[in-house]
Chain A
Amino acid sequence: MNKRMKIILHVNIQAEKLYEKSKELGTLAASAFLQSGQTSQANRERHRSQMKGLENIAETTRKSTDVLDYIKKQIARKQSGWVTELQYGEKLKAFLEDGLTGPIDEICREVGITGNTEQDRRDRQQIRLHLIRQFVRQMVIQYEYSISDLGRKNSA
């Protein structure tokens, strides 16, 4: 198996392990949005498009820091759901900044990326990006599911 295939395989394994965390943050995003109180249809659509915007950035960017910049900007603009007492924005930023180091190290060990050459650093960058993409994808799906579920419960 070539290195690229090995990376994809091990990213998938680690993404499975991060499933619970992505569920937690996806549910938190939905709860935070409902807690913000700005739950009109228009606000709901706006919040949903911010979440899809995050997913879109993660899918298309070539730099993981673009995702972090996007989150910081949502926090700075005090967008509904990102800055409630539940601190969804802060928690997501902290996790993407620090929480992926362990899984990335593990993937690098499995694939044999051990040095600090330019190619090694580029591989690490790619691994981080792949992991962020998988994580954000999982989190946004959970968010969509939770927002409809919590919305139903709140209106019942």
Chain B
Amino acid sequence: MITEKLLERLYLLSDDVLYRDAVNFMHSIGEANSLSGSQMNGLLNIALGNPYSELLKFLQHQQARTTWKKQEAHVPGFYRKLQIKLQRLTVDSISSIAPEGKLSPEEQEELKKLIAQEFIQHLLAENGYMAYQIECKKKQEENQQSMYQRGGKRR
């Protein structure tokens, strides 16, 4: 069972490290290589409703899937990077949350699940926010382009 003390440390880690890590992860992936909002929601649901080992199996399954559409060709790459990130993150986080190292295998598994949930929740928020920012930028560029073209015609 995860004690209140461990939970407090997890929440501190989430604010101090995982949030910034999730933002950086999304920026390193780039919007074009990210998931759609509904895929990201699906991922969060898996993380919230299953043990950590099942989440890893899901990530592996998504990488092995061969039925992705052409426009989703980048998706297995996203899951591969996320799996590598989570595996590192959970190990590092556990050594920071429980430096004494006296956790049972069940507690370790539970803690990994909670760390992954925290990280994926931050990912989901940043994913949507990043998509919105890029959409705005595109609109701005289109507006500038059409203004430029109108200006050119007038001349």
Query: Which residues of A are at the interface with B, using a C-beta cutoff of 8 A?
Result: 62-65, 68-70, 72-73, 75-78, 83, 118, 121-122, 125, 128
Query: Which residues of B are at the interface with A, using a C-beta cutoff of 8 A?
Result: 8-9, 11-12, 14-16, 18-19, 37, 121-122, 124-129, 131-132
Contact B122 A83, beta carbon cutoff 8 Å? no
Contact B128 A77, beta carbon cutoff 8 Å? yes
Q: Which residue of A lies closest to B127 (CB)?
A: A76
Q: Tell me the minimal C-beta distance from A22 to chain B in angstroms.
A: 22
Interfacial chain A residues near B15, Cβ < 8 Å: 63-65, 125, 128
Contact A65 B14, beta carbon cutoff 8 Å? yes
Q: Which residue of A lies closest to B19 (CB)?
A: A65
Q: Which of B19, B37, B132 contacts A75 (CB 8 A)?
A: B132
Interfacial chain A residues near B9, Cβ < 8 Å: 118
Contact A76 B11, beta carbon cutoff 8 Å? no
Interfacial chain B residues near A118, Cβ < 8 Å: 9, 12
Interfacial chain B residues near A121, Cβ < 8 Å: 12, 16
Contact B132 A69, beta carbon cutoff 8 Å? no
Q: Roughly how many angstroms separate A125 CA and B11 CA in the complex, as a whole number?
A: 9
Q: Which residue of B lies closest to A77 (CB)?
A: B128
Q: Which residue of B lies closest to A87 (CB)?
A: B136
Q: Roughly how many angstroms separate A75 CA and B129 CA in the complex, as a whole number?
A: 6
Q: Roughly how many angstroms separate A75 CA and B135 CA in the complex, as a whole number?
A: 12
Interfacial chain A residues near B128, Cβ < 8 Å: 72-73, 75-77
Q: Roughly how many angstroms separate A76 CA and B41 CA in the complex, as a whole number?
A: 13
Q: Tell me the minimal C-beta distance from A82 to chain B in angstroms.
A: 10
With contacts A62-B11, A63-B14, A78-B132 taken as known, whether A72 is within 8 angstroms of B19 at the C-beta atoms is no
Interfacial chain A residues near B16, Cβ < 8 Å: 121, 125
Q: Which residue of A lies closest to B16 (CB)?
A: A121
Contact B19 A68, beta carbon cutoff 8 Å? yes
With contacts A76-B132, A83-B132 taken as known, whether A69 is within 8 angstroms of B12 at the C-beta atoms is no
Q: Roughly how many angstroms separate A36 CA and B37 CA in the complex, as a whole number?
A: 24
12 A-B pairs within 8 Å (CB atoms) are namely A64-B15, A65-B18, A65-B19, A70-B125, A72-B129, A75-B132, A76-B131, A76-B132, A78-B132, A118-B9, A125-B12, A128-B15
